[in-house]
Structure 1
Amino acid sequence: MSKHHPDLIMCRRQTGIAIGRLCEKCDGKCPVCDSYVRPETLVRICDECNFGTYGGRCIICGSPGISDAYYCAECTRLEKDRDGCPKIVNLGASRTDLFYERRRLGQYIFCYASPTLLPDGSSLFA
């Protein structure tokens, strides 16, 4: 993923025993170079990236994971599988821009708090 999107940042901490997962959209991709050919080495991620609700999530996009992630044969040969945890930790400029563009067009509905009346009849927002 980082090959085609240079603004994405990987975690790169020391890996633990947790196995990286991929969602159905990212299934079969090498997390370093986006290759779909010759999966070889199982991806290990750090304990912080697998803690709590992050466990079992896709290491590229954060969706629920359905399959194990593998490094391709070329990344294994170049020892890119030893560079640390490959989990993407930021959204990237394209997804951030998409959010603000949709918000500008009114496609997101925001929930605003309704005024709460206090016992004396006044409002918190007045």
Structure 2
Amino acid sequence: MSQWSAHRRPHGPDREESFRRRHEGACGLLLRTALARLPRAGRSSEHYRFQALDAGKKCTSCHREDFVGYANTPRVANQKLDYLIKTLSDFRDNKRPNVPRMTALVRNFSADDIAAMAHYLAGL
């Protein structure tokens, strides 16, 4: 009997969640991006990649659930894809310093991360 046979490991989403929780602090964005790239049935890869990038629910803290916006915070759901990519890229590159919180949130996002977020939001 091996050392692992007595210990039952979780499989599927439970395994991913368990692994994410154990390594959240050290691996951060790298881990979330890798988990988001795992194939899952029923939803687009952009959906899961977006969820991984927004694991702390930072986007919905301002843009609200369903990304409909509120008061001075714009709606980002169902916007045009090119608009979302340009806007997120401008925040990342500090071309729009008027919202420092957005710049800080997307500063380390790759072009692929931004494209995944934009595709997800444009499809809402």
Q: Shorter chain as normaliser: what TM range? A: under 0.3
- More strand, by proportion: 1
> Which structure is larger by alpha-carbon Rg, 1 or 2?
1
Larger relative contact order, structure 1 or 2 (CA cutoff 8 Å, min sep 6): 1
Q: TM-score, normalised by structure 1?
A: 0.22
- More helix, by proportion: 2
Q: TM-score, normalised by structure 2?
A: 0.22
